[in-house]
Amino acid sequence: MSQKPKIIVSAPLPADLRERVAAVCEIIDVPVGQNPAEAVPASVRPEVAGMVCTVRTRVDQALLDAFPALTVSSNFAVGFDNVDIEAATRRKVLICNTPGVLDGAVADVMIGLMLCLARNLVAGDAFVRSGAWTKGAFALTTDIRGKTLGLLGMGRIGKVVARTAQAFDMKVIYHNRREDPSVEGLAAYVGRDELFKSSDVLSVHIPLSAETRHSVGKREFGLMKPTAYLINTARGPVLDEAALIEALRAGTIAGAGLDVMEQEPLPPSSPLCELPNVVLQAHVGSATHETRRAMIDLAAANLLDALGGKTPQAMVNP
């Protein structure tokens, strides 16, 4: 019988990393998004000590009950809204994540969505391809330079966005649970309502929790300027999507750039796909070769450290 600890891998592990992990663990592969409690035979479940998974795996009480020997679950993501943290902590299962290594990539998608919206770049591409340009000039668009960018949340990603926005000569304001002295000179702290009222572009950078679910809705859209754009690269359910669709249809706000939605993958029947003032992406904030590699390296290192009795670099519930 193998002395190596058994681990579930339900995340894309590059071949060289897989070799390193397999040298010290017995890997049980579970396709991404499949419930490990259904994929792993009942006879093996009590022997599983660790898991690395994407946010598509629900780490809830039922999963914890199915794997009684689990000591660590390492998320291949910075977000951990797929995990019942209270249940995991009660069961003394360590939850790890991948902060820091994806900030730039997510910030880049936020900036890209902002430029697409303000300069109407997606429609501009279609305008050229369709031949419409031969019949007349493209409609004028909007400057972002000199405008106010509001950040709801000032964590690691918010800070990179703020620094990048400075290079676009934008004024940056933010609202957070508390004022952050480390961003003095970079962004100005304002009250929550003031953030929605004053922003020309409002970007969401808060995690999804019971407290933040649907925390941006009809009331907040009503506070925004009719010329303002809303951008979400955090988690879809932070926004009340039905209220957003209503606000976009009514012209309460000018447009939205969304990398995340309440339902993912977004069904093409969603009204969001019909709205011309929306730019959509397929939850690709961290989806570059370099960033995903850094994330899986960190997720695997967290798992191996925890199994080896070392303190992992990134833990959610130490």
- Taking the least distance from each CB to ligand DGY, the nearer of 119 and 156 is 156
Would you count residue 237 as binding ligand DGY (CB under 6 A)? no
Surface-to-core class of residue 70, CB atoms within 10 Å of its CB (0-12 exposed, 13-18 middle, 19+ buried):
buried
Q: What x/- string results for residues 25 through 64 when contact with ligand DGY is judged by CB under 6 A? A: ------------------------------x---------
Annotation says 246 is catalytic: no
Q: What are phi and psi of 72, to 5 degrees?
A: -150, 140
Q: Which of 77, 113, 151, 256 binds ligand DGY (CB under 6 A)?
A: 77
Report the residue number, 102 or 303, with the smaller CB distance to ligand DGY.
Answer: 102
Q: Could you say whether residue 302 binds ligand DGY (CB under 6 A)? A: no
CA–CA distance, 95 with 85 (Å, rounded to integer): 8
Active-site residue identified among 18, 56, 264, 293: 264
Distance from C-alpha of 185 to C-alpha of 170, rounded to nearest angstrom: 13
Q: Which of 57, 148, 232, 286 binds ligand DGY (CB under 6 A)?
A: 286
Separation between Cα atoms, residue 37 and residue 151, nearest integer Å: 39
Q: What's the CA dihedral at 212, 108, 293, 86 to 10 degrees?
A: -10
In the complex, minimum distance from the CB of residue 127 to ligand DGY, in angstroms, rounded to a whole number: 32
Our CB check for ligand DGY shows the closer of 55 and 247 to be 55
Residue 203 burial (CB < 10 Å; 0-12/13-18/19+)?
buried
Q: In this complex, which beta carbon is closest to ligand DGY, that of residue 50 or of residue 79?
A: 79
Total residues binding ligand DGY (CB under 6 A): 7
Question: Is 283 noted as a catalytic residue in this protein?
Answer: yes
Indicate the angle between helix axes 289-307 and 15-24, nearest 10 degrees: 0
| Residue from 248, 253, 276, 298 nearest 78 by CA | 298
Site string for ligand DGY, 107-136 (x = CB under 6 A): ------------------------------
| Active-site residue (options: 235, 241, 262, 292) | 235
* Position among 21, 101, 102, 107 found at the interface with ligand DGY (CB under 6 A): 102
Confirm whether 235 is a catalytic residue.
yes
- Chain-centre distance of CA 44, in angstroms? 33
**What is the C-alpha R_g of the chain?**
22
Smaller CB separation from ligand DGY, 105 or 224: 105
Q: Does 78 bind ligand DGY (CB under 6 A)?
A: yes
- H-run or E-run covering 152: strand 148-152
Site residues, ligand DGY (CB under 6 A): 55, 77-79, 102, 285-286
Active site positions, annotated: 235, 264, 283
